[in-house]
Amino acid sequence: MKTLGIIGGLGPMATAYFLQLITQMSDAQTDQEHMEIVIYSKPAIPDRTRYILGQSTDSPLDDMIAVGEKLKQMGADIIAIPCITAHYFHRQLEEQLGVPIIHAIRESALWLEKEKVQTVGVLATDGTLQSGLVQDILTEHGIQPLLLKDESQRELMGMIYDGIKAGKPYDMNCFMRLSDELLAQGAQKLLLACTELSLIKRDHPLSDRYLDLLEVLAGKAVERCGKIREEYRLPTV
């Protein structure tokens, strides 16, 4: 088995849940059959969304590279980043570190293409949407991305930053209303393209209309570094 390195802390609860997902997805009968994981949780890494939107000149890239280098020194063969907005820096990180980094967005797009999904509602941070990364990758795979209206997007950002990231209650009725807005536009699937939103799926019984990118990332990490339980394996193109 290969050793997985995790650039964590973006945010901390999403990192903890990512480890839980990896553990439950692993086809292991004993402690010793689980994959080896090295986690460096550094919540002090500058906010990715603020940097991408030009609201801060404090780039998170150097800190993420430094964390990645330490993971390499500790034996990481493959790296995962349980933060979708941080995938904006994927190419630069992979070039600098010289270690494969699993791309949650591309892996999800491959699955959606295989399932012949043509329209997807994107629930993500302003930073992820401003970068165009999710939209571009979906379009490359023949999938039309659908976005929230401006006011609704502001509500979603409030849920993410003022609620989930802050460890405070959030309005589940608001989340469902935002989901319905995208479904009304014709979305066949709803993409949880922010790892804070993955925590909503963890805590509430959401339907199979939602595709959680953190679950995709965890499944691919187990496939590449360990042995995955068949019920968690996503089909590949």
Find the catalytic residue in 194, 218, 222, 225. 194
Q: Which domains does the chain have, with CATH numbers?
A: 4-104+215-232 (3.40.50.1860), 105-212 (3.40.50.1860)
pLDDT in tens, 70-104: 999 999 999 999 999 999 999 999 999 999 999 99
Find the catalytic residue in 83, 156, 159, 217. 83
pLDDT at 237: 39
Q: Is 194 a catalytic residue?
A: yes
Q: What is the mean pLDDT of residues 94-121?
A: 97
pLDDT at 234: 73
Nearest to 48 by CA among 88, 106, 17, 101: 88
Whether the full predicted model's pTM is greater than 0.85, yes or no, is yes
Nearest to 184 by CA among 148, 226, 142, 232: 148
Cα–Cα distance measured from residue 216 to residue 236, given in angstroms and rounded to the nearest whole number = 12
Would you state the torsion angle of the CA atoms of residues 59, 64, 70, 75, taken in this order, to the nearest 10 degrees?
A: -160
Cα–Cα distance measured from residue 189 to residue 47, given in angstroms and rounded to the nearest whole number = 28
pLDDT in tens, 41-77: 999 999 999 999 999 999 999 999 999 999 999 999 9
pLDDT at 207: 94
pLDDT in tens, 137-161: 999 999 999 999 999 999 999 999 9
Helices (H), 36-168: 48-52, 61-73, 90-97, 104-114, 126-131, 133-140, 150-158
Asked if the model's pLDDT at residue 127 lies above 90, the reply is yes
pLDDT in tens, 8-27: 999 999 999 999 999 999 99
Q: Is 225 a catalytic residue?
A: no
